[in-house]
Each structure stands twice: as structure tokens, then as C-alpha cells.
Structure 1
Amino acid sequence: MMRRVTTTAGSLAAAGALVLGMAPSASAAHGDLFNSTWRVTNPSGCVAVPLESNSFHVYNQTNEYALAYQNNNCTGPVIDVIPPGGQAPGGAIAVLGRAAWIN
């Protein structure tokens, strides 16, 4: 009887570990990062942002903060922080902005 309980408990533990190991990682923001000419759904990492009318507009309808960088490879200074569900103050980031990083 004790062996059966031990075997059952071991099988349940192994099944639980298998299910937890298959859980998807939460590596991308949920929602959209966009302006009027492009859209990225569930963005993750560095997103190059094309200029729009000589301005750098980014709307962040995700659940994460987006950091706006001066260079298109997410290097140089952070020039703005775009909150989740919002936009940069005034609707545009500095004209020099070229990329956004989002987790």
C-alpha cells in the first residue's frame, strides 16, 4: 500500500514539473506599439521606428514602458519614456529619436 502511494505521488510530481516546464515565457509586451505608418504587435526588444513627417511619433498601447533612443539600434541616450497605454508628452518624441526598446 505504501509503495502505491509513493508511486502515485512521484507520478503527480513528474506531471506537474512537465506542465510547469511547458509554460510560455512572458518575454514580450502585450499590445501594440505604433504610429500612423507602422504597427508592431506584442513587441519585444529594440524596434526601429521610421520618421513620420520629420517627427518620431510612438503610441504605446502595451502593458510595458517603452524607452525611446536617439539611434536606430537602441543606443545613445534615452530621449523619452512612453508609459503603458499612452504616448510621449505632446504625442511626439524628439525629432532625433530612431528606435524604442520594450520588454
Structure 2
Amino acid sequence: MSRPMLLVFLLLVLIITSQFEWKQQLVSDLDATPSISDKQQRISKREEAVKEKIILSQEKNIQRLNELVRSLREQLVQCRSNCTAETFGENVNELDRLHTVDD
């Protein structure tokens, strides 16, 4: 082979092999992308689960507070019907004391 033919042949081999390497890099990049999105999906699912647990916990606290409010209203109604002004004042002081203990 003449020297120019050899150079052209080597240039073609170089171009062809570089094309294969580029395609492999693109394929590996495309393969890596789904794994990243899979990780993001798993993370978002975990975040959703944590948010649901927080919401459920808050709902339980709200229910408990609603029950306490209902109970206090019932006590207030009973107190209005049964208590004198003096015992009412004592009950208010007791409620204030309980309120400060809860805080």
C-alpha cells in the first residue's frame, strides 16, 4: 500500500471506532438516566409516606383536642347548672392551672 492509502485507511478506522465509542457513551448515559429517575421516584414515594404519617398524626391530635373541647363544654354546662359562683371560680382556677401544666 502506498503511504497516502495507509493514512486514509487509518483515518477511516479512527473515525469508525470513535463513532462506536460515542454510541456506547450515549447508550450508557441513557441507561443511567432511568436509574436516576427510579431513585427520584423512590425518594418521592418515601416523602409521600412520611407526609401521610405526619397528616395522620395531626388528625389524631385534632381528634384528641376536639374530644377535650367537647368534654370541657360538657363540664361547663354541668358547672353552670350546679355550681355557685364560688365553686365556679375554683373550677376556673383549676382549669387555668391545668392549662399552664399542659404548656
TM-score (norm 2): 0.36
Q: Which has the higher contact order (CA 8 A, sep 6+)?
A: 1
TM-score (norm 1): 0.36
In proportion to residue count, which structure has more strand?
1
If you compute each CA radius of gyration, which structure gives the higher value, 1 or 2? 2
In proportion to residue count, which structure has more helix?
2
